[in-house]
């Protein structure tokens, strides 16, 4: 498998990788060594945000294509907020994993 078909762990100098097709189309990944080091509070917050996002997308399939909604519509605003919240929590999880790996 060529190196371009793999995604490296987001922690610097970690040599663990995962196949792109196993990561669900995401570009970031935290390996199994560094994920347990992320605080329980952050992981719980991330799981809750993912669960809420899945629930919203399951109930209202139109939220999956929020860019087709007119700007300013309630559906578009809630979908954008949902993805921003999920991305923000993921960024905090990444930062926590990197800081804990560095011993900060």
pLDDT in tens, 73-85: 656 557 678 888 8
pLDDT of 102 > 60? The answer is: yes
pLDDT of residue 2: 56
**Tokens linked to 92:** 């905090």
Domain ranges of the chain: 3-102
Q: What is the Cα Rg of the chain in Å?
A: 16
CA 66 to chain centre: 18
Query: Which of 16-25, 58-67, 93-102 has the highest mean predicted lDDT (pLDDT)?
Result: 93-102
pLDDT of residue 1: 46
Euclidean distance between the first and final Cα of the chain, in Å?
35
Query: Which of 19-28, 50-59, 91-100 has the highest mean predicted lDDT (pLDDT)?
Result: 91-100
Q: Exposed (0-12), middle (13-18) or buried (19+): which is 97, by Cβ within 10 Å?
A: buried
Asked whether 18 and 32 are in contact (CB, 8 A), the reply is no
């Amino acid at each position: 498998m060529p190196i371009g078909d793999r995604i490296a762990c987001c922690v610097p100098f970690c040599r663990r990788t995962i196949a792109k097709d196993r990561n669900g189309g995401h570009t970031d990944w935290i390996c199994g060594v560094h994920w347990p080091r992320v605080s329980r509070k952050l992981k719980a917050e991330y799981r809750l945000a993912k669960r809420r996002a899945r629930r919203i997308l399951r109930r209202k399939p139109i939220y999956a294509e929020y860019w087709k909604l007119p700007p300013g519509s309630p559906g578009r605003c809630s979908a954008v907020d949902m993805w921003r919240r999920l991305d923000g929590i993921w960024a905090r999880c990444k930062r926590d994993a990197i800081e804990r790996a560095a011993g900060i």
